[in-house]
Structure 1
Amino acid sequence: MNFKPNLFDKKGGAYARISHEETNSAVKLAAELKNILPAGISCRPIVFVCIGTDRSTGDSLGPLVGTLLEEKSISSFHVYGTLEDPIHAVNLEEKLSEIKKKHFNPYIIGIDACLGRLKSVGVIQIGEGPVKPGAGVNKDLPEVGDMHITGIVNVSGFMEFFVLQNTRLNLVLKMAKTIAGGIYEASLHHQTAPAWPAFKWELNREQTP
C-alpha cells in the first residue's frame, strides 16, 4: 500500500490517470499500457506483481486484480499475487526473488493501492517506474517493477490504517475489475516472441523440402 500517490516521478516518463467511472475505462487503460510498454518488449516475459492483502479492504486492490486475471487465464502475461496467495510486506522480497529466478530478465509491472486527495479517489494511475510499497509508512521494502499501476482507493493525511480498514469494498472491486479488464484487453493484442525451441522448430520446418 502506498499512502502517497506523488511518490512516483511524473516528470520522468510516460504517465496517465484514468477514472474507473470513465466510459470504456478498461479499454483506455489497455491503450495506455500498450503505449508505455517499451519497443521490443516481446522478447521479455511480462510479469504483473499484484501487491496487497485481503486482511484490509483498502489494501485488497492488488490481490483482487490478481485473482480476476487468474480467472481469465491469460497466457501472454504472468501474474503473481492473488487473494489465495497474496504478496505483501512479509513475503515481498521472497516472492520477488522467486519471480526473478523463474523468469529470465522479466519486465515487471507492480500493482498496488494508494491513498490520495479526495477528488482523486477512484482514479487509476499507470506510468513508468516502480511502485514503492510501504514508503508512506516508513517501511523499508524493495521497489517493485519497471512500470506501475496504482489505484487511489481513499483519502490520505489522517489515520491512514483506519481509513484503509474502512474503505468500501464496492469501490475497490470496481477499480480491480477495470484494471483486470484493461490488462486482459492488452493481452489479446500482445505478441510474445517464440521460445527458442519453438523458433528452431519453425526454422527447420521451413528449410525442409
Structure 2
Amino acid sequence: MRAVTPLSSRTAAEDASALAPFFADLAARHALADLTFVCIGTDRSTGDSLGPWVGTLLEERGFPRVVGTLREPCDADRLAEAVAALSPEATVVAVDACLGRPENVGRFLLSAGPLVPARSVGRSFPGIGHYSVAAIVNAVGPKPYWTLQTTSLYRVMGMARQIADAASLYLGSPHPILDNK
C-alpha cells in the first residue's frame, strides 16, 4: 500500500477515508476564515449537483466563505463571474463532481492544485482552486450529459455528506444541530 500524502498533486482515486487526512492537513496550513470553498455544479442535473450539495451543507454548518449552493449554484453560466469576484488573497478549495473509470465510481480525487470544471462534458474552463476535491459520481461514457442526468442522487448526496463531514470535523466549523444544546 502506498503512503498517503494528502496535500500532494496526486491523481489516483481515493476512497472516503482519504478525506480526513486531506482536510486535517489543510486545517494545519490554513484557518477556516482564510478559505473559500467554490462548489461547482448545478441543481438541474443529478450528477452535477454534488458541488451545490456540498456548498449547502457547508453553509448550513457555518462555513464563512462558500460560493455555490443549491439556492445559488456556481454553474457553467456563473463560474467566470464567481471566480472574478473572489478576493485575490483567498485560498480556494474547489469542489466538483466528475466522471471516471467504472472501478473508481464513489471515490475522490484530492489535490493541492486546481481542478478543471466540465472537462468530462467537453467544456473548456480554466483550472480553479489552490486545493481541489473531485468526486467521481459515475462512469464516463459516450454521452456524458446523459450520464450525469441519470446518476444516482443517493450516491451524490452520500459523497457530498462525506466531504462536508470531513471538512467540518477538521476545519472546526460547528454543526448547528449538534452544537445547539
RMSD: 2.4
Structure 2: distance between partners of 1:43 and 1:133: 24
SS at match of 1:99: coil
% identical aligned pairs: 37
TM-score scaled by length of structure 1:
0.72
Q: Which has the higher helix share?
A: 1
| 2:8 aligned partner, one-letter code | G
Counterpart position of 1:195:
none
- Give unmatched runs, 5+ long, in structure 1: 1-11, 190-209
Shift of 1:17: 4.2
By how many angstroms is 1:72 displaced?
Answer: 0.9
1:30 aligns with 2:30: no
Post-superposition offset of 1:36? 5.1
Partners of 2:22 and 2:84 in 1: CA distance? 28
Cα displacement string for residues 159-196 of structure 1 (whole angstroms, at most 9, x for unaligned residues): 1111111001000000000000011012118xxxxxxx
Give the alignment partner of residue 180 of structure 1, picking from 152, 164, 178. 164
Which of 15, 19, 29 aligns to 1:19? It is 15
Of 68, 76, 88, the match for 2:57: 68
Q: For each residue in 1:91-140, what CA deviation from the matched residue of structure 2 results, as whole angstroms up to 9, or x when unmatched?
A: 1110111122xxx5111010000001111100022111101012233323
Residue 148 (structure 1) aligned with residue 144 (structure 2)? no
Query: In structure 1, the residue corresponding to 2:54 is in which secondary structure?
Result: helix
1:51 corresponds in structure 2 to 40
Cα distance in 1 for partners of 2:85, 2:22 equals 28
Flag the structure with larger Rg: 1
Q: Is the 8 A contact 2:39 2:66 kept in 1?
A: yes
Among 58, 61, 67, the residue aligned to 1:80:
67
List gaps (5 residues or longer) in structure 2.
Answer: 1-6, 174-181
**TM-score, structure 2 as length reference:** 0.82
CA contact (8 A) 2:51 2:160 kept: yes
Give the aligned partner of residue 177 of structure 2: none
Q: Which residue pairs with 1:96 in the alignment?
A: 83
Count the aligned residue pairs.
Answer: 167
Give the structure 1 partner of residue 143 of structure 2: 159
Q: 1:173 to 1:94 in 2, by over 3 A?
A: same
Query: Are 1:118 and 1:155, in contact at CA under 8 Å, matched by a contact in 2?
Result: yes
